[in-house]
Amino acid sequence: MSGGALRRFLGGSGGIIIGTAVMNVCTFGFTIVAAGVLDTGDYGAFFALLNLLMVVSVLNMGLQATAARRIVADPGGVAAVERSILRVAHATALALGLALAVLSPAVAWLLQLDSVVPALVLAALSVPTTIMGAHIGILQGEKRWAALSWLYVLAGLPRIAGLALLWWHPDESVALFGSGLGYVAPAVLGWWLLRRPRSASPADPVVPAVPPWAVLRESLHSSQALLAFFALANVDIVVARHVLSEHASGLYAVGLLVAKIMLYLPQFVVIVMFPSLATAHERRRAVVRGTAAILGLGVVCTLGVLLLAGTAAEVLGSEKLDAVAGHLWLFAVLGTLLSITQLLVYATLARRGRRSVLLVWAALVVSVLAGLATTSPTQLLAVMIAVTAVLTAALVVTSLRGDSSGTRSGSVADGPGD
């Protein structure tokens, strides 16, 4: 590959692939090392805290989706969108952090924590997490892939420093803080990249200022849709903490590492495809291509897990990993289904659809009710796979039907069209 071709690759989707790969390797590497450093009970608490942080991060993702969609839909209004998104992001980040601090005793009870300290760490990390989402959305909508790839790199590398803290003091609060360094650094870089307010080009049409309330309303709609998805993707560990023993829920958390890897490994597909998902004439093809790419990657990785899980447990000498090695391929299946569902949820947000989101909320309710009736990790895993498989199939059908309808009408399917 020539130097020019390499620069184009790194400045486009290739940079995103590498950036998200670095982020995922560091993120899951930290979590895997934490599984060996922490005892089973502390690890289960740490993993539950991470999952809850992911759930509250839906506001981050709602801002990201709103920024990217609005910029793609109205390129001439980039300056106005940037100003409104950043204003809303800073206000909502502070509000979310304060709310979680007030609710820290409830969080400690929900996750069966020994104190409120880990919950307060969670509240503090929610602030840079939310701001980071706004930065990512702006860069994504403008297709500034090189800058965006560096944000993803910085979402991973600082967690290496977090490992030193974890070895120094191995408990769930330090583990959460060490992992959370991957939210602080990208927020700082994003601020640096966007520190100078963008001014409209003289060639651009005059665009009225984007009302912050309109940005907030769309962000909240996107957030509640993503809340449904990430609650579904993370609810099983919360259920496990209530229906299984501390040891069994810790082992289930070890298995969930594979599911999370499979959920986030194809993240670059969603990132690169989103501008196309927000463009009416490209949406249907983007849904098909994105689903096929994630499914193909999932099949290959699931076969790899099936063949190598036992060997990996022996090489690492991990008793926890060895105890769940025979079921790890099923966790890979669960993660693949969740990754496809994530793409389809973003496709729904890109076309401003609403009815499909109700399917995700319904799946969440079913998974909780069925999960509370389980008595073993295997039963809980079976419930999650069955519910997610049905949801994924339903979203594929409704998404393609909605895209076909929108293409024929020449407009974006919204509400009733979904």
Whether residue 328 contacts residue 309, with contact meaning beta carbons closer than 8 Å, is answered with: yes
Count of domains forming the chain: 2
Last residue of a domain, one of 165, 197, 229: 197
Chain-centre distance for alpha carbon 375: 29
Last residue of a domain, one of 162, 197, 232: 197
CB atoms within 10 A of CB 227: 22
pLDDT value, residue 132 = 93
Distances from the Cα of 71 to the Cα of 252, 279, 317, 361, 376, angstroms: 41, 11, 50, 28, 47
Distances from the Cα of 375 to the Cα of 151, 248, 337, angstroms: 42, 10, 24
Q: Answer yes or no: do 237 and 169 share one domain.
A: no
In whole angstroms, what is the distance from residue 218 CA to residue 1 CA? 43
pLDDT value, residue 418 = 57
Q: What are phi and psi of 410, to 5 degrees?
A: 80, 15
Instruction: Name, in order, each residue with C-beta under 8 angstroms of 119's C-beta and a sequence gap of 6 or more.
Output: 49, 100, 103, 104, 105, 107, 108, 111, 113
Sequence letter at residue 278 = A
**Domain range enclosing 301:** 218-418
Residue at 209 is within a domain: no
Q: Answer yes or no: do 165 and 106 share one domain.
A: yes
HSE of 256 in the Cβ direction (CA atoms, 13 Å)?
26
Residue at 88 is within a domain: yes
Q: Answer yes or no: do 174 and 239 share one domain.
A: no
Residue at 32 is within a domain: yes
Q: Answer yes or no: do 227 and 324 share one domain.
A: yes
Instruction: Name, in order, each residue with C-beta under 8 angstroms of 171's C-beta and a sequence gap of 6 or more.
Output: 38, 42
Q: Answer yes or no: do 176 and 46 share one domain.
A: yes
HSE of 89 in the Cβ direction (CA atoms, 13 Å)?
30
pLDDT value, residue 59 = 87
- Residue 238: name the closest of 384, 30, 26 by CA: 384
Residue at 286 is within a domain: yes
Which segments in the chain show pLDDT lower than 70?
1-13, 197-210, 312-322, 402-418
Q: Answer yes or no: do 256 and 176 share one domain.
A: no
User: What proportions of the chain, in percent to the nearest 5, are helix, strand and coil?
Assistant: 85, 0, 15
Residue at 79 is within a domain: yes
Distances from the Cα of 193 to the Cα of 59, 146, 147, 198, 229, angstroms: 21, 12, 8, 11, 30
The two three-digit tokens of residue 55, written as one number? 């759930």
In whole angstroms, what is the distance from residue 411 CA to residue 351 CA? 9
- Per-residue pLDDT of 319-354, as tens digits, reads 666 677 778 889 999 999 999 999 999 888 887 777
Whether residue 131 contacts residue 89, with contact meaning beta carbons closer than 8 Å, is answered with: yes
Whether residue 162 contacts residue 169, with contact meaning beta carbons closer than 8 Å, is answered with: no
pLDDT value, residue 411 = 39
pLDDT value, residue 351 = 76
Residue with tokens 């947000």: 349
Residue with tokens 């390499």: 6
Q: Answer yes or no: do 173 and 247 share one domain.
A: no
Q: Answer yes or no: do 341 and 227 share one domain.
A: yes
Q: Answer yes or no: do 48 and 142 share one domain.
A: yes
Residue at 212 is within a domain: no
State the pTM of this model: 0.75
Residue at 202 is within a domain: no
- Residue 39: name the closest of 220, 170, 200 by CA: 170
Q: Answer yes or no: do 247 and 103 share one domain.
A: no
pLDDT value, residue 295 = 94
DSSP 318-336: -HHHHHHGGGHHHHHHHHH
pLDDT value, residue 221 = 84
- Per-residue pLDDT of 192-250, as tens digits, reads 998 876 655 555 555 556 677 788 888 888 888 888 898 899 888 889 888 888 888 88
Q: Answer yes or no: do 363 and 231 share one domain.
A: yes
Q: Answer yes or no: do 256 and 330 share one domain.
A: yes
Sequence letter at residue 23 = M
Residue at 203 is within a domain: no
